[in-house]
Each structure stands twice: as C-alpha cells, then as structure tokens.
Amino acid sequence: MTDSTRDSLTTDLRRLEEIVRSLEAEDTDLDRALQLFEEGVSRLRAARDRLAEAEARVQKVLEDAAGQLHVTDFEG
Amino acid sequence: MTGSLFDLPPEGQSPPSQPPSRPAALTITELVSTLRKSVEAATGPVWVKGEVTSFKAYGSGHWYFSLCDPQSAVRCVMWKTYTVKVGAVVADGTEVYALGTPTVWEERGELRMSVQVLLPTSGVGLAQLARERVKAALEKDGLLDPARKRSLPLFPVRIAVVTSADGAALRDIIIVTRRRWPSVRLLVVPAKVQGTEAPETLVRALALVNRLELVDLCIIGRGGGSKEDLSAFDEERVCRAVAALRIPSISAVGHETDISLTDLVADARAATPSAAVERALPDRADTLRHVQSLGSRLAHGLRRRTTLVSARLARSGDRIQVAMGRRLEEPRSQLDRYAGQLEALSPLKVLSRGYSVARLADGRVVRRKGDLPPGTAFDLTTTDGAIAAHAD
C-alpha cells in the first residue's frame, strides 16, 4: 500500500457497506440504484486489489548525530 | 462439660482453692501494664523479616498491617512519622525487613509491634515499591484514565515498532504481520529493552516515533524475561513517553502474566508481541470474505432493484391498458346508442312494419285528403321500393 492510498481500504469498505444498505432499502430510484451499483463495483475492485497487495515491508528508522531520520530496509 | 473441665486443676499446678483477699488481686490495667513492660524488655527494638498482609493505610497517615511467616503472625502499627519515609504504600505479599519494638496495646491487651523502618527484602520488593510510586504519580496526572484511551485504526498502513532490533519480539511481530496482513509497512525503531540504558533508549525511540509522518499505530514491547528484565517498562519516563505518543499505541511486554506500567498507559494492552499484531491487524482472509459478501449483496441489491422496477413497470402498463380501454369504451357505447336512436328514427323502420308513404311528383309527402285530388299521380314508397299510383 502506498501512502496515497492510505486508509482508503477503510473508506472503500465503509462506502461499500453504505451502498449495499441503500440498494437493499426500498426507496432508491432506479437511476440512483444504477449509479450506486457502478460505484460499488469500482470500490469492490479497489478493495480486492488492495487486499492482494504484496509482501509486508519492514524498515528500520535511525536518527543520525545531526538529528536526521534515516529509513533503511530492515534485514531480519 | 466445660464446667467440669474448668473444675480440673491444670497439670502440675495446684491453684489456690480460695480467691485471694482483695488487696492481692491485680486490676486489668496493672496486669496489662506489667505485661507490656516485660514484652518491651524482652527484645527491645529488633529487626524482623516477614511478609506484609492485611495492609491498611489510614487517612491519618498511620499504617496497620500484619507481618507473618508460614507459622506465625504479629499485628503491626507504623505511625505517620515513619510511614512518610517509606513513601508509597506497601502491597500485601511484599517481603520486608522491619525494625520495630514489640509492645502490648493496653486498651485491648493485644500484642503489637511498633514499626519504625520498613525495607523490602529484595530487589523485587524494591522494584515493586518503586513501581507503586510511579503508578501513583501517573494516576495523579490522569494518565491511567480509561477515558483517554484512543481506539485503534481499523486498517493501519504503517506501524512503528519500538523494541530491540534483534529480539524475539520483533521476529514474532514480523511473522504474524506477514501472515495476517501482508500489505502493511513496519517501521522498526530500535531500542534497548533491558539493562540500565533501556529507559533512556526507549524514551528516545518513542520521541522519534512522534517525528515520523503518516504512522497509524505504535507497538512497544519486548518478549518475556525476568521481572528485572522487564523493569524498564515500569519506569516513569518511559510511561510518560508512551502517554505522549501522537498516535494510538499497544503495549506488549513479556508474557500473559506480566503487566507493566506501559500496559496501563498505552491505548491497548496485548499479552505478547504476537498478540499485539493480532490486535492491530485484521485477518486478511476474514476481510476478503467480508469483501466478497459485500460484492454478492451489491449484485443482489441491484437485481432486487431492477426486479422491483420491472414489476412496477408491468403494473403501470396494465393500468395504462385498463385506462385506455375505459376511454375507448365510452365513445363506442355512445356510438351504439346513437346508432340505435338513428335506427328507430329511420322511416324505413316504420315502412318495415307495413306502412307506406305517398309522395307527390315533387316529392312532398301526402298528409291530407286535399293533398291528393282525384286524377293526381303519386308514388307509393314501401319498404322495398316505390309503386307508381293514380288517385281515382
């Protein structure tokens, strides 16, 4: 997961649940329902993609004498 | 029964069979006072070793407790003058050295030890004492208040881990992370987790976490060890550094049974470092199942919507047809009515009943006798045609 997609899984899932609830409610008109469905499908795809993302990355954070932070890959 | 027992003289003694004369009987005060003096003289101020039980600190600052070993116990009192030097209260079960003078509490005739100095017998005791002092200080500043605990993020993306770079804890954390939620990034901020330098490096690492951008959660901890090994996590400044974290924290120190003060300050506590990851990260397989169920509910939701709409459309179609039908019906029946009326009015209809019409050559209908003088020619119209006729 990249920083720009940070937290978006939470957003995607939350929105998906809203959409499903609206679709399951009686009072959505068809145009709106179709719109919601399309949005739902793209969020579903995004969530699946994010879940399929690769290996956990482990990095080490160190501070140098000047107080600068350095992030390097961690060799466990 | 008891009466007869009491009547028996104790073995080897023959008590006076008669009560003594009044001047020879001691008052209770005299008796207890005598006993107090002999008890105080027996040992004088003395060091004893024992375990504290039934500890009670009163608002007055005086402490009451028992010191005991497996066979015996003695009630103790420690006046405020002395308790202030101990500082924090003493937990039940603490093994201590106590300097005190045995005496008798005359009002009740009970044995008491008046304690002046109380020292935990071991490092454990000392650590426990220090820990209680720290806990009280943290509590006073509201850092243990459950209301200040933050909830953990649902799907953390970047997790800071403050622990030893080569400890078992970090290894476990990485393994469990890879198993549960592989798309997470762990940022290890190394610190010493035992020894004299541990508190300082932990505080520095925690401060460093606060400088990291976009981190969602901080796990601080270490694997199991002796109480001594875990003591850095009871240090006041370490606890305060945990409390000062900008992001939610999970403290995971040692094993199930170990509770350190950082556990009480952090937003969540986990029994072990592995458990901390389980607490921090949802299981990917579970989440995938959830996503799949949302997917099928989505499809089903739409199908349901479209079914509803087409059912509604069909109903509307029926209604239109019925409405249109009604609208066409009306003129038609009106037409039929008109047609009927027209037919009734038709002269042919009358002729069909056997009547005929006489018309003059100019087409005028003969209505009176005078219309048709003798010798006049006229046409007689019947239901199937006209007959030329002549009036006589």
The DSSP-derived string for B2-38 is: HHHHHHSPPTT----SSPPPGGGSPPHHHHHHHHHHH
Edge-to-edge strand list for the sheet holding B217-222: A69-73, A57-63, B185-190, B158-163, B217-222, B249-253, B268-269
The pTM of the whole model exceeds 0.90: no
pLDDT grade for B256, boundaries at 50, 70 and 90: confident
What does DSSP assign to residue B233? G
Whole-number pLDDT of residue B308: 73
Q: Which CATH superfamily is domain B145-285 in?
A: Succinyl-CoA synthetase domains (3.40.50.261)
Between B344 and B362, residue with greater pLDDT: B362
Whole-number pLDDT of residue B1: 43
Largest CA distance in chain A: 64
Question: Alpha-carbon torsion B246, B250, B251, B253, what sign?
Answer: negative
Q: What is the Cα–Cα distance from B99 to B77, expressed in whole angstroms?
A: 12
Whole-number pLDDT of residue B2: 43
How do residues B53-86 score in pLDDT, each as one tens digit? Answer: 999 999 899 999 999 988 899 999 999 999 988 8
Edge-to-edge strand list for the sheet holding B377-382: B357-360, B377-382, B385-390
Domain assignments of chain B as residue spans, ordered by start: 21-121, 145-285, 348-390
Whole-number pLDDT of residue B119: 82
Encoding tokens for residue B171?
Answer: 């290894």
User: Alpha helices of B221-370 — where are they, by DSSP H?
Assistant: 236-243, 261-265, 273-280, 284-345, 347-352
What are the chain B neighbours of A63 within 8 Å (beta carbons)? Answer: 204, 208
Mutation choice for B interface testing from A31, A50, A51 by most B CBs within 10 A: A51
Whole-number pLDDT of residue B173: 93
Distance between A64 CA and the closest CA of chain B, angstroms? 11
With DSSP H G I counted as helix, E B as strand and the rest as coil, what are the percentages for chain A, rounded to 5? 55, 15, 30
CB pairs under 8 A between A and B: 119
How do residues A21-62 score in pLDDT, each as one tens digit? Answer: 888 876 777 788 888 888 888 888 888 887 777 567 888 998
Number of structural domains (chain A) is: 1
Q: What is the bridge-based pairing of β-strands B249-253 and B377-382?
A: unpaired
What does DSSP assign to residue B152? P
Encoding tokens for residue B175?
Answer: 């393994």
Q: Is the Cβ pair B190, A62 closer than 8 Å?
A: yes
Nearest to A3 among B214, B291, B297 (CB): B214
Cβ(B99)–Cβ(B81) below 8 Å: no
Nearest to B302 among A33, A53, A57 (CB): A33
Write out the residue range of the structural domain in which residue A24 sits: 3-73
Q: What is the Cα–Cα distance from B148 to B326, expressed in whole angstroms?
A: 72
Q: Is the Cβ pair B186, A59 closer than 8 Å?
A: yes
CATH fold for domain B21-121 = OB fold (Dihydrolipoamide Acetyltransferase, E2P) (2.40.50)
Whole-number pLDDT of residue A2: 44
